Amino acid sequence: MTRTAPSTAGAPSTAGAPAGAEPRRTVRVELGDRAYPVEIGPGVRHLLADVVAGTGASRAVVVSARPRELVPDPGLPWLFVAARDGEEHKTFATVEQLCLEFARFGLTRHDVVVSCGGGTTTDTVGLAAALYHRGVAVIHLPTTLLAQVDASVGGKTAVNLRAGKNLVGAYWQPRAVLCDTDFLATLPGREWVNGYGEIARCHFIGAGDLRELPVTDQIAASVARKAEIVAADERDSGLRHLLNYGHTLGHAVEHVSGFAVRHGEAVGIGTVFAGRLAHALGRIGERRRDEHLAVVAHYGLPTALPAGLSAEALIGSMRLDKKALHGLAFVLDGPDGARLVPGVPEGEVRRLLAGMGAA
Ligand code: GLY
């Protein structure tokens, strides 16, 4: 499994880095007048004041799941609001609380909100920014591998309902994303694995084999592939479905396990399943099917369902998936690459789930 300390050997876009310093990468999400940079590398959080200045804001609210001393000064009058990462906090109640803090501070729609934390923080703060005064600028400082490679980039924001994950949200693109790899130094092992779920699924959606790269390059390559996809299909009407590779079962596993299985872990299981399903439907051969298992295992992710999850509960949850307009739908690999496959027979899904340990 690739889980080295952040390092950036071989990164090409290092212009401007002081001699001896680890290089930084910049990926642009090209969305016309809403285009923005994703800065990746050690110390990029210190670009915050410059990015904030570029918004023209007079004040900022910084919502952070990390201690105040780790948050860089945004360079203008600001309010620090402590947040907590975790699916249980990804609720309407959190969004309402944040908007109340914005209002108490007197934030206007010409000001700026900054998120600093994992994916649940970037999602809730992003949604609060989208809703407050019908939209205020937001900058993300993702602090986990999962948030850096996926959640903070691309403008999707959401909260969970009891009925399922991410069922209510909005598209709200940030002004910039600062993926400071220094934040990753203190991540616990399970949090690394969580992020690697999203990197593993990139292998099957056109990012190439990232297994032997240093982590900064793995992040940059994952973000670059996501940026291309988002630029082509911001509102998820076709191509963007690719980013949900492994997620149909993944979201169901998270939901049915009561979030005992983390998002990236669940995406790993969902990616192995997607390989088996694509093979069972005649879309890929055995070698490609087995590559799914090998890639997921390489990153230290689980490759089978945890004990006790019922196939019926998982299928019921998958029927609620936003892509499932007609029966069960999965993003599956095939002769021309991955694409959304609707109307997948439930019997096949049930059989393969049983083979992966479903009750
Ligand atoms: N995480 C999937 C997407 O941004 O579309």
Residue nearest to atom 3 of ligand 1 (CA): 243
pTM (2 d.p.): 0.91
Please answer whether residues 330 and 346 qualify as being in contact, where contact means their C-beta atoms are separated by less than 8 angstroms: no
Assess whether pLDDT exceeds 60 at residue 3: no
Q: Which H/E stretch holds residue 340?
A: strand 339-344
pLDDT of residue 21: 56
For residue 128, which of 101, 153, 105, 148 has the smallest C-alpha distance? 101
Residue 18's pLDDT band, with cuts at 50, 70 and 90, is: very low
Segment 97-131, tens digit of pLDDT: 999 999 999 999 999 999 999 999 999 999 999 99
**333 in ligand 1 pocket by Cβ < 6 Å?**
no
Residue 173's pLDDT band, with cuts at 50, 70 and 90, is: very high
**243 in ligand 1 pocket by Cβ < 6 Å?**
yes
% of the chain with per-residue pLDDT over 70: 94
Residue 162's pLDDT band, with cuts at 50, 70 and 90, is: confident
pLDDT of residue 176: 98
Segment 223-277, tens digit of pLDDT: 999 999 999 999 999 999 999 999 999 999 998 999 899 999 999 999 999 999 9
Residue 90: which region, alpha, beta or left (left: phi > 0; alpha: psi -120 to 50)? beta
Assess whether pLDDT exceeds 50 at residue 16: no
Distance CA 234, CA 229 (A): 8
Distance CA 216, CA 24 (A): 8
| Non-local CB neighbours of 33 within 8 Å, separated by 6+ positions | none
Domains of the chain, residue spans: 25-188, 245-355
Ligand 1 centroid to Cα of residue 76, in Å, is: 32
The CATH number of 25-188 is 3.40.50.1970
Atom of ligand 1 nearest to the CA of 198: 1
CATH superfamily, region 245-355 = Dehydroquinate synthase-like - alpha domain (1.20.1090.10)
Distance CA 112, CA 106 (A): 12
**150 in ligand 1 pocket by Cβ < 6 Å?**
yes
Residue 326's pLDDT band, with cuts at 50, 70 and 90, is: confident
By the 10 Å C-beta count (0-12 exposed, 13-18 middle, 19+ buried), 79 is classed as middle
